[in-house]
Amino acid sequence: KAGVTQTPRYLIKTRGQQVTLSCSPISGHRSVSWYQQTPGQGLQFLFEYFSETQRNKGNFPGRFSGRQFSNSRSEMNVSTLELGDSALYLCASSLVPWESLRPDTQYFGPGTRLTVL
Amino acid sequence: ELKVEQNPLFLSMQEGKNYTIYCNYSTTSDRLYWYRQDPGKSLESLFVLLSNGAVKQEGRLMASLDTKARLSTLHITAAVHDLSATYFCAGLSNFGNEKLTFGTGTRLTIIP
């Protein structure tokens, strides 16, 4: 079956702009998580969505937002971009959310490489 | 707040040797995950460890969890070049707002 897809794969923006990234989970998966990866801060959790509801949120400013649609596809938006937002943004999907008593493996997408100039 | 520390950060080892990557975490964690990342690639889930004493093995990799010591280990047996990658552990905080907290990663290089 098809894996997690993320679009676009690469993006270049300038400071002050906003950006929307998209993630399509594996068919049947209802939980989608987003992560930011940078050389300085490493991997950091952004949000987790399940059945269109944000269940958990990491320690990021309000400029970072997301949503999930009824087909489980998810988008994340970053407004007023800063240089420090340059990163690899990873999306992961799983059948069930983390709090499930039967935690499922997370499957990661290829990521979107965002460069802010 | 959960903190996760991995060591070593860099590991260079010869093929055929055994070695262990350590993952310490600061507070109670519901579960512990191990991931692999190849250069320029995304993350691949390796193991999910749920309870004290849990041990999982896949090929030359074996992961274990000691919740009392707040320690997880990833043991590599008879390393081969294909295992060269960066390995991350991550803990899931079980206090209120659940989120995955990742370690810094261990960059493993297997030398022929």
When mean pLDDT is compared across A14-18, A23-27, A37-41, B84-88, the lowest value belongs to A37-41
Average pLDDT over residues B16-32: 88
When mean pLDDT is compared across A15-29, A46-60, A89-103, the lowest value belongs to A89-103
For residue B16, what pLDDT band results from cuts at 50, 70 and 90? Answer: very high
Average pLDDT over residues A61-75: 97
DSSP count for chain B of H helices, then E strands: 0, 11
Confidence (pLDDT) at B98? 66
- How far, in Å, CA of B19 to CA of B14, rounded? 10
Average pLDDT over residues A44-58: 91
Instruction: Determine, for residues A33 and B100 on separate chains, whether the beta-carbon distance falls below 8 Å.
Output: yes
Nearest to A42 among B44, B98, B105 (CB): B105
Which of A41, A101, A106, A112 to mutate to test binding with chain B, by most B CBs within 10 Å of its CB?
Answer: A106
Find out whether B71 and B23 touch, Cβ atoms under 8 Å. yes
Most confident of A36-45, A74-83, B19-28: A74-83
Nearest to A98 among B41, B98, B101 (CB): B98
pLDDT at A103 over 60: no
Closest CA–CA distance from residue A87 to any residue of chain B (Å): 12
> How many interface pairs between A and B have CB atoms less than 8 angstroms apart?
49
Average pLDDT over residues B23-47: 88
Find out whether A78 and A19 touch, Cβ atoms under 8 Å. yes
Question: Which residue in B has a C-alpha nearest to residue A36's C-alpha?
Answer: B102
pLDDT at A80 over 80: yes
Confidence (pLDDT) at A1? 63
Count other Cβ atoms within 10 Å, centred on residue B1. Answer: 9
- How far, in Å, CA of B39 to CA of B35, rounded? 13
Average pLDDT over residues A16-40: 95
Rounded alpha-carbon distances, angstroms, from residue A89 to A75, A110, B57: 11, 9, 29
Average pLDDT taken over every residue of chain A: 91
Average pLDDT taken over every residue of chain B: 90
pLDDT at A81 over 80: yes
Average pLDDT over residues A97-108: 67
Confidence (pLDDT) at B94? 64
Question: Which residue in A has a C-alpha nearest to residue B50's C-alpha?
Answer: A103
For residue B52, what pLDDT band results from cuts at 50, 70 and 90? Answer: confident
